[in-house]
Amino acid sequence: MSEPAAEPAAEPAAEPAGVPAAGLDKSRSPADAPPIVVDALTESGNGYRFVVARDGRLHQLAFGIGAGSVPVTVGRSLYPLALPTYGEDPHRMPALRITHADGVMTTRLTYRSHSEADEDGGRVVRIDLVDGDEPIDVTIVVRVWDDYDLVEQWLEITNRQSASVVLHDYASASPALAGSDPCLTHMGGGWAAEWTAFTEPLTLGTKVIESLGGIRPHLQAMPYALIEPAGRASETEGSVVACAIEWVGNTRLSCERSHNGVVRVCAGANPYAAERHIDPGETFRAPAVLWAWSDAGRGALSRRLHRFTREQVVRDGTSIRATVMNNWEATFFAFDEAKLVAMMDDAVAIGAELFLLDDGWFGESHPRDLDDAGLGDWVVDRRKLPNGIEALTDGAQARALRFGLWVEPEMVNVRSSLYAEHPEWVVAEPTRERREERNQLALDLCRPDVRAFVVNTVRRILVDHPGVSYVKWDANRAVSEPGSSVLPADRQSHWPFDSAAGVNDVMAAVAAGHPNTEIMLCASGGGRFDLGSLRHFHEAWTSDNTDPLVRLQMQWAAGWFLPASILSAHVTHWGGKPLAFACAVAMTGRFGIDLDTTACSPDDLAVLRRATTAYHRVRDLVQQGDLYRLVSPLDGERGAVAFLSKDSDRAVVFAFQLDETPGSALAIDCLDPDRTYEVQSISLTDDALPTVERSPGSVLGDEGLPWVLDQPLTAAIFEVSAVD
């Protein structure tokens, strides 16, 4: 991966005739002077090494592991362009395409200067490029995170022309990777299948993974990918590049493999039907894209990404999360105060710590008994809750439970007072029917008044109900007529980008205004999962699909990038699998319960209680420990994961039998081989005393534990503690 991805056949020769090195101060790079090298490297020497060719163009000399050790031998044009623009490489798709004010469609960028400064915890390298003929400034920005050995990268584009320019393509990052057998792993699949993993070889041509629809795009394609340049990596071996597009809107990742084997990856906001004008003097900032690497397989990479996400991305990411009881799958819209109070009593008996009241609590003139009314009218439905939310928050407090509320503040039902007052607030095109999805329309976040409404909606709910310390923020439709009443006719294509930026702004404002409120990000399940929006949230709802067989696979794939602490995992009856198995699967994420406990048998309640008690004993490991993936559940036979404490003192191991295929042993090869461990089994199905055995870490790593499961849909949990 660190090899310089030289591609002499594909790039223009050095100093092509007639190409002025505009913007380059040639006095700094005379023909015999050493070339200008710009490094955006972590302390480990990984990241980007760029070189300025003698014609002034900026090239990528190396990317990834060991980029800093790649020798700078020549400042010529033998290496891939750092930022391929339209017109520079006629055989390839560009990362950046701009139509300039005078109609010129190509962009020719040369190096002007670079700088480095400490900003927001990272070291920020900025490389300024200019087009000497068409006044436009383009800055490649790379934020280097030494502690996590990764970088984030984005583009800033400033229009210096006297009229607006049009951005057609604006990938935030476009590294080139060299490798013998490149393959791509990506996730998607739509509602209830959003973390379905696909791994495929990158053959000649372009593979594009993109999402559309504007509002819950990540249901369709997650903004995450693994690229393995030399063939599939294992958990401990092989070279892997991780990419995460930090954008709540539509995203696009393209991998173009050319004849010389080089893969050009372009990643960023999806520019499809999203041409963006930049006015004179305006600066457009493309969203950040994160890159991380490993030459020791996927496991080490994931652990680094998890630590980064907990410490630098999500809110309050290093604290322990409470166990939630949610009423959605239990009641849907049909509940009343008595039902919720009964569930709260069960929550206490089971050991849950937070009660989350989901959709259906609001709507006065248009009560929300189904999904066809009430959205937008954020007043309590007194028919269901005659004593208001206060009765519930007081009831929760009396039971030492925290209380949470569901909101979907960016949406409106036509059957609502809000729509009657503000039909102009919705996303719509003037000549088109306003088609509903899930019986609702989307509010237009390009409008400042709508952005203020959304922020105020959440603020008012939290101010009016001070007992609410947790919010689930949902968004349940995509957009089919992407028009805005505040955008001029010739700028309607701004909607995809600007409305996503608007969503990000309101999320940021809510997070800033309510620093003590915990918030779950949800969009019809995992329809919003990017690291950009996760900065304003504490966790995300992994998927509406809670069938534990499917969830195990989804959580496995999500865990390539994201820590268990932010992957909400609630036990339900979805899929009709054994409850103990469902509990064990949910215990490998942020555990919660979402089933009608008032209808549960005493045996089932006992399983839920045992699971909650056990989870609380090990949740520091699950939520804050290091994840080791031991057996992949993706082939549907068995699965196993371990979470290890930082000092290797303690671990919890989860093993799952999925079908009839017998297993023999479970090697737990993450423990300290020189220590002795006590292994204690945890049963969710009975109160029998745990079995306890002692073994050296080396034996647990090599021979492992016997595979004790022989029935499909069963799970075993082991608590492992060092005794010396």
Indicate the helix (H) or strand (E) that contains 558. Answer: helix 548-558
23 vs 214, which CB is nearer to ligand DGJ? 214
Are the CB atoms for 528 and 540 separated by under 8 Å?
yes
Which position among 7, 55, 358, 410 is part of the footprint of ligand DGJ (CB under 6 A)?
Answer: 358
216 vs 264, which CB is nearer to ligand DGJ? 216
Residues 436-475: x where in contact with ligand DGJ by CB under 6 A, - otherwise, as a string = --------------------------------------x-
Q: Choose among 123, 322, 222, 270: nearest CA to 529.
A: 222
295's CB contacts (< 8 A; 6+ apart) are: 1, 65, 238, 239
148 vs 406, which CB is nearer to ligand DGJ? 406
488's CB contacts (< 8 A; 6+ apart) are: none
Site for ligand DGJ (CB under 6 A): how many residues?
11
* Measured distance CA(203)–CA(406) in Å, rounded: 45
Nearest residue to ligand DGJ on Cβ basis: 359
| Number of other CB atoms surrounding residue 688 within 10 Å | 8
Mode of pairing for the β-strands spanning 150-159 and 289-294: antiparallel
Helix (H) and strand (E) counts for the chain? 12, 38
In one-letter notation, the amino acid at residue 10 is A
145 vs 406, which CB is nearer to ligand DGJ? 406
Judged by CB under 6 A, the stretch of 43-51, 218-226, 518-526, 581-589 that binds ligand DGJ is 518-526
Residues 472-501: x where in contact with ligand DGJ by CB under 6 A, - otherwise, as a string = --x-x-------------------------
In one-letter notation, the amino acid at residue 684 is L
3 vs 437, which CB is nearer to ligand DGJ? 437
**Closest distance of CB 329 from ligand DGJ, Å:** 8
**Closest distance of CB 321 from ligand DGJ, Å:** 17
* Measured distance CA(120)–CA(140) in Å, rounded: 17
Judged by CB under 6 A, the stretch of 61-69, 336-344, 522-530, 576-584 that binds ligand DGJ is 522-530
* Measured distance CA(248)–CA(193) in Å, rounded: 19
Which position among 254, 416, 524, 624 is part of the footprint of ligand DGJ (CB under 6 A)?
Answer: 524
Q: Radius of gyration (Cα) for the chain, nearest Å?
A: 27
Which position among 11, 235, 295, 359 is part of the footprint of ligand DGJ (CB under 6 A)?
Answer: 359
Q: Is 39 in the site for ligand DGJ (CB under 6 A)?
A: no
Which position among 284, 293, 541, 643 is part of the footprint of ligand DGJ (CB under 6 A)?
Answer: 541
**Closest distance of CB 452 from ligand DGJ, Å:** 24
* Measured distance CA(360)–CA(368) in Å, rounded: 5
Positions in 314-333 near ligand DGJ (CB under 6 A): 328
Outline where 309-409 has alpha helix (H). 328-331, 337-350, 388-398
Which position among 66, 317, 525, 592 is part of the footprint of ligand DGJ (CB under 6 A)?
Answer: 525
Q: Is 544 in the site for ligand DGJ (CB under 6 A)?
A: yes
**Closest distance of CB 179 from ligand DGJ, Å:** 38
Indicate the helix (H) or strand (E) that contains 192. Answer: none
476 vs 533, which CB is nearer to ligand DGJ? 476
591 vs 628, which CB is nearer to ligand DGJ? 591
169 vs 474, which CB is nearer to ligand DGJ? 474
Q: Is 406 in the site for ligand DGJ (CB under 6 A)?
A: yes
Q: Is 522 in the site for ligand DGJ (CB under 6 A)?
A: yes
HSE value, Cβ hemisphere, 13 Å, CA-based, for 595? 23
**Closest distance of CB 328 from ligand DGJ, Å:** 5
Positions in 97-136 near ligand DGJ (CB under 6 A): none
Are the CB atoms for 175 and 528 separated by under 8 Å?
no
DSSP characters over 632-695: --TTSSEEEEEEE-TTSSEEEEEEEE-SS----EE--TTS-TTSEEEEEEE-SS--PPPPEEEE
399 vs 438, which CB is nearer to ligand DGJ? 438
3 vs 371, which CB is nearer to ligand DGJ? 371
Residue 569, strand partner residues: 591
Binding residues for ligand DGJ, rule: CB under 6 A, are 328, 358-359, 406, 474, 476, 522, 524-525, 541, 544
